[in-house]
């Protein structure tokens, strides 16, 4: 079963539209695909129609930005009703802060001598409600200031760097409840990518399981093979389902293409066994 339950379209910070992603997933041999744009479900109608047309397995998805102990953590939701009004109100509130934050990022770049970054980043954001750091990073790469997105994040956009603007996203328990209330299941995204000690990661997972989380991304995007076995241990310890996704954003940027992330280790309960 080639499940890829993590990908981004132009609705958030990906560069392909939902239909192009569906086609790419299909061609790459994906059996079950989810579009998981940041804090926004407006691509799901197109994604579903394209998947149905292709005979590609599809489930609704979203990636919600959450603040946990002062840092951004991502919670994926699957199999929910995209029309659910409480979920949509929650996502709308999370998105509402993005425009203001982007203006502040632009002002910091201005102070650093990088002109018109806000307007420039907006050109990379077909959905202005979803403007984020990736769009700024693409602009600086386009201007020839950096080789790749990672270098821009390292120089300017990560916490502690000069164009980083701290932001308060949703509460973890609230995000999980929005997803569950809409009939879906919540999965902790890319647990190896947070700046947490081993003990803190265990606390995060415990709290996530406690507040109603169902699964954890054991395989997410490009990651060292040994991380999958470490996350598998955590999944078993907290009795969480295991998920897998490429976190694909763009053909020339993403370390792993759709459907090409490593396989889940054995002895886990794959999340997709409980999805519709
Ligand atoms: P935002 O929601 O605006 O804070 O942006 C978060 C997005 O930035 C993530 O979903 C990634 O797509 C991207 N991102 C975060 N950190 C990095 C990094 N170190 N290198 C490249 N992209 C990153
Ligand atoms: Mn992203
Ligand atoms: Mn993420
Ligand atoms: Mn993602």
pLDDT for residue 276 is more than 90 = no
pLDDT digits (tens, 9 = 90+) for 219-229: 999 999 899 99
**What's the sign of the alpha-carbon dihedral 227, 229, 234, 235?**
positive
Residue nearest atom 11 of ligand 1, based on CA coordinates: 134
5 with 216: CB under 8 angstroms?
no
Q: Evaluate: CB of 66 within 6 angstroms of ligand 1.
A: no
Q: What angle do CA 216, 53, 8 make, to 5 degrees?
A: 35
The first and second tokens of residue 92, run together, are 């709308």
According to DSSP, the residues that pair with 219 across neighbouring strands are 244
CA pair distance 157, 20, nearest whole angstrom: 29
pLDDT in tens, 1-23: 999 999 999 999 999 999 999 99
6 lines ligand 1 (CB under 6 A): no
Which tens digits make up the pLDDT trace of 196-245? 999 999 999 999 999 999 999 999 999 998 999 999 999 999 999 999 99
**pLDDT for 274:** 93
**Ligand 1: which residue has its CA nearest to atom 12?**
134
DSSP 212: T
What does 163-179 look like in DSSP terms, one character per residue? T------B-HHHHHHHH
Sorted by where each starts, the structural domains of the chain and their CATH numbers stand as 3-90+169-273 (3.20.20.140), 96-157 (1.10.150.650)
Which ligand has the minimum distance to the alpha carbon of residue 133?
A: 1
Cα dihedral sign for 36, 249, 242, 237?
negative
Residue nearest to atom 20 of ligand 1 (CA): 150
Instruction: State whether the Cα torsion 257-59-124-165 is positive or negative.
Output: negative
Residue 147 pLDDT > 90: yes
> What's the residue count for the chain?
276
User: Which residues have C-beta within 8 Å of that of residue 175, sequence separation ≥ 6?
Assistant: 64, 66, 75, 77, 90, 186
Q: Tens digits of per-residue pLDDT, 82-107?
A: 999 999 999 999 999 999 999 999 99
For 18-70, the pLDDT digits (tens) are 999 999 999 999 999 999 999 999 999 999 999 999 999 999 999 999 999 99
- Nearest CA owner, ligand 1 atom 7: 134
pTM value?
0.98
Exposure string of 159-184, with b = 16+ CB inside 10 Å and e = fewer, is eeeebebebebbebebbbbbbbbbeb
Q: Which residues pair with 170 in a beta bridge?
A: 66
Question: Residue ranges of the alpha helices (H) in the chain?
Answer: 18-27, 44-54, 85-111, 117-123, 133-142, 149-152, 172-181, 198-210, 225-237
According to the model, what pLDDT value does residue 57 have? 98
Query: What is the bridge-based pairing of β-strands 185-188 and 215-220?
Result: parallel
Mean pLDDT of the chain: 97
Does residue 254 have a pLDDT over 90? no
- Ligand 3 (ion): residues with CB under 5 Å are 74, 189
Q: 36 C-alpha vs ligand 4 centroid, how far in Å?
A: 7
């Amino acid at each position: 079963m080639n499940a890829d339950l993590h990908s981004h379209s132009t609705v958030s910070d990906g560069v392909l539209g939902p239909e192009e992603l569906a086609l790419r997933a299909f061609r790459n041999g994906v059996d079950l695909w989810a579009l998981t744009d940041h804090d926004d479900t407006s691509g799901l109608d197109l994604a579903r129609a394209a998947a149905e047309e292709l005979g590609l397995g599809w489930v609704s998805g979203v990636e919600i930005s959450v603040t946990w102990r002062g840092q951004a953590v991502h919670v994926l939701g699957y199999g929910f009703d995209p029309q659910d009004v409480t979920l949509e109100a929650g996502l709308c509130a999370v998105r509402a802060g993005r425009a203001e934050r982007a203006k502040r990022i632009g002002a910091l770049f201005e102070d650093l001598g990088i002109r018109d970054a806000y307007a420039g980043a907006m050109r990379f954001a077909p959905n202005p409600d979803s403007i984020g750091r990736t769009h700024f990073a693409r602009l600086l790469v386009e201007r020839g200031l950096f080789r790749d997105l990672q270098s821009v994040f390292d120089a300017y956009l990560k916490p502690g760097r000069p164009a980083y603007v701290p932001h308060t996203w949703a509460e973890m328990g609230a995000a999980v409840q929005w997803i569950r209330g809409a009939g879906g299941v919540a999965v902790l995204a890319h647990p190896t990518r947070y700046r947490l000690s081993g003990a803190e990661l265990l606390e995060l997972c415990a709290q996530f399981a406690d507040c109603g989380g169902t699964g954890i991304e054991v395989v997410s995007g490009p990651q060292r093979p040994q991380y999958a076995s470490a996350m598998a241990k955590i999944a078993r310890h907290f009795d969480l389902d295991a998920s897998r996704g490429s976190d694909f954003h763009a053909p020339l940027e993403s370390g792993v293409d759709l459907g090409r992330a490593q396989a889940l280790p054995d002895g886990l309960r794959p999340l997709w066994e409980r999805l519709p």
